[in-house]
Amino acid sequence: MPQDFSHRVVMIVAEGSNPFEMGVATELFGLARPELDTPWYDFELCAENPSVTMHAGFFRLSGVSGLDAVDRADTVIVPNRPDPGNDPSPAVLDAVRGAAARGARLASFCTGSFVLAAAGVLDGRRATTHWRWADLFAERFPAVRLDPDVLFVDDGDIVTAAGSAAALDACLQLIRHDHGARTAAAVSRRLVFAPHRDGGQRQFVEQPLPEVPDTSLSPLLTWAATRLATALTTADPGPVRRIFVGPRRLAPHLAALSDRPSTSSTWSVLRLARHGTRRRGLIHEDPPDRPWPPTPRSARPPCTAASAPNWARPRWPGSRRSAWPWRAA
């Protein structure tokens, strides 16, 4: 960008405007960017009246320029509408029409597209607006080619953003057009914001997610850990009801766990398996007099190749897991 670059951005603020959009424009166009080593924008706020009450009466904005500032702007950002069903004042519409007639670039955030459409500058043009007001917009302004699914529309000298957060995307697009992709990426990095977001508005429309039952063993482990003194079986309705798996399908899960006992929760599952599952040696059922879990090695009865459970059977040399000592019968 040449060093003599000069671009004036003027944002119109109206009664009830959302301060977020005003903050976005101020952040991207009004703050100096000395780290970029390039001339930046001249930013100015203007309003029909010297004092403006912002949305919901949060605060009043005073000391802003009049609408004559629009006549000096290269880019004009129109105000969003707190009530899209009502048109803005005739003075604001005249200022927008005048800016469009002399070739100024126009931009809108969220419901600001209603202002552009009411001024007649969007007829036959492609534009977007917030998904919540898309049907109302299409009904009121059928001459506009509305695209309700995108985050913003860059139609040359008119840029419309879908929602409040999409104002960031639209502003970065304006910077990308004026200063290039490298500068836009640097600004987005400063904002900790994506330089370009994929997808459209459809991903943000409320869509209830279906409830999916937890089919893991986590609910069963938690439930069984509180019943270590109780004889549990896979036929009990408790375990099946907690993991939505029948006894026949539950047995292989317990067999897989029995090969690597480690925690108290796992021992509770093994206790459940010991009392209710015999799958041809996959889960070893100990004699009634043997404590559970296993006692220390010094007090442990000798294991045999035929009776050792999976986790106690020998491994081939070089195995990653070492086997417990055992002896042939």
Indicate the burial class of 154 (C-beta count within 10 angstroms; 0-12, 13-18, 19 or more): middle
Active site residue 303: no
DSSP notation for 69-117: GGGG-SEEEPPP-SSTTS---HHHHHHHHHHHHTT-EEEE-GGGHHHHH
Tokens coding 315:
């491994």
Distance CA(191)–CA(143), nearest Å, equals 36
Residues 6+ apart with CB under 8 A from 210: none
269, 220 contact by CB (below 8 A): yes
Q: CA 210 to CA 212: how far, in whole Å?
A: 6
Contact 47, 64 (CB under 8 A): yes
Q: Pick the catalytic residue: 46, 110, 171, 303?
A: 110
Best CA proximity match to 191, nearest among 175, 214, 211: 175
Residues taking part in catalysis: 110
